[in-house]
Amino acid sequence: MPTAREALLDAALRALADRPWRMVRMVDVAALAGVSRQTLYNEFGTKGGLASALLRQAADGYLTGVDRALTAPAPEHPAAVGRWTVRAADADPLVKGLLTGLWGEGLPRPGRDVPGPAELLGLARDRMAAASHPMSPVRCERDLRLALSYVIVPRLPGGAGTHWAEPDSWSPITPMITSEIDTSFSVETTSPRKIMP
């Protein structure tokens, strides 16, 4: 049985699916969760506190998926994390906003206690580097940036309706991505910019 906190977060997500965040009312979230409004305020304090909790939950879910992708055989780590990054962003606009910093009009905005794109991708990069020896953090970052490019520009030019983020569409491009990772990205840059901004 879910805790009151879990029920409230689930209710907030359901409310957000129906209307823009600015129109989501705390009383509606409490009613959807089947708890009193006071319980909601005791748990999150304010609507901003609820928004931060939703976004932290989305960030934690993304990182859990990164960890799951890293259970693939070592040579497949970068492609598995890339596929997960695109799928997660495609499935959840909160994850997309966290990864890109691009927020749709109807979404809550992150506060200071929510990781920004550089911090979230830095956490993913560090997990990849720890699990994928001998890959360097710089190479892991490049792999994530490649995946992120598919998140930001999800459609092929002239490919009416072809969406990169759909899981089935990854099968023909996975060899291309893996090839890019194994060849182009194996060359170390001489740029002083070795980490994410």
Distance, CA of 165 to CA of 83 (rounded, Å)? 8
Distance, CA of 51 to CA of 70 (rounded, Å)? 29
pLDDT of 189 reads 44
Position 195 pLDDT exceeds 80: no
Contacts of residue 28, Cβ cutoff 8 Å, sequence gap at least 6: 15
Are 37 and 123 in a shared domain? no
CATH code of the domain containing 8? 1.10.10.60
Are 74 and 39 in a shared domain? no
Are 106 and 58 in a shared domain? yes
Position 150 pLDDT exceeds 80: yes
The verdict on residue 192 lying in a domain is no
Position 93 pLDDT exceeds 70: yes
Are 88 and 12 in a shared domain? no
Q: Domain count for the chain, please give it.
A: 2
Collapsed DSSP state (helix, strand, coil) of residue 194: coil
Are 141 and 115 in a shared domain? yes
> Could you tell me which of 41, 22, 33, 35 has the C-alpha nearest to residue 108?
22
Are 40 and 57 in a shared domain? no
Q: In the chain, what is the straight-line distance between the N-terminal and C-terminal CA atoms, in Å? A: 41
Are 88 and 168 in a shared domain? yes
Whole-structure pTM value: 0.77
Which amino acid does the sequence have at 32?
L
Give me 127's structure tokens: 């997990």
Domain of 21 in residue numbering reads as 1-45
Per the prediction, the chain carries an average pLDDT of: 82
pLDDT tens per residue across span 40-84: 999 999 999 999 999 999 999 999 999 999 988 877 888 889 999
The verdict on residue 33 lying in a domain is yes
pLDDT tens per residue across span 163-190: 444 444 444 445 555 555 455 444 444 4
Are 158 and 87 in a shared domain? yes
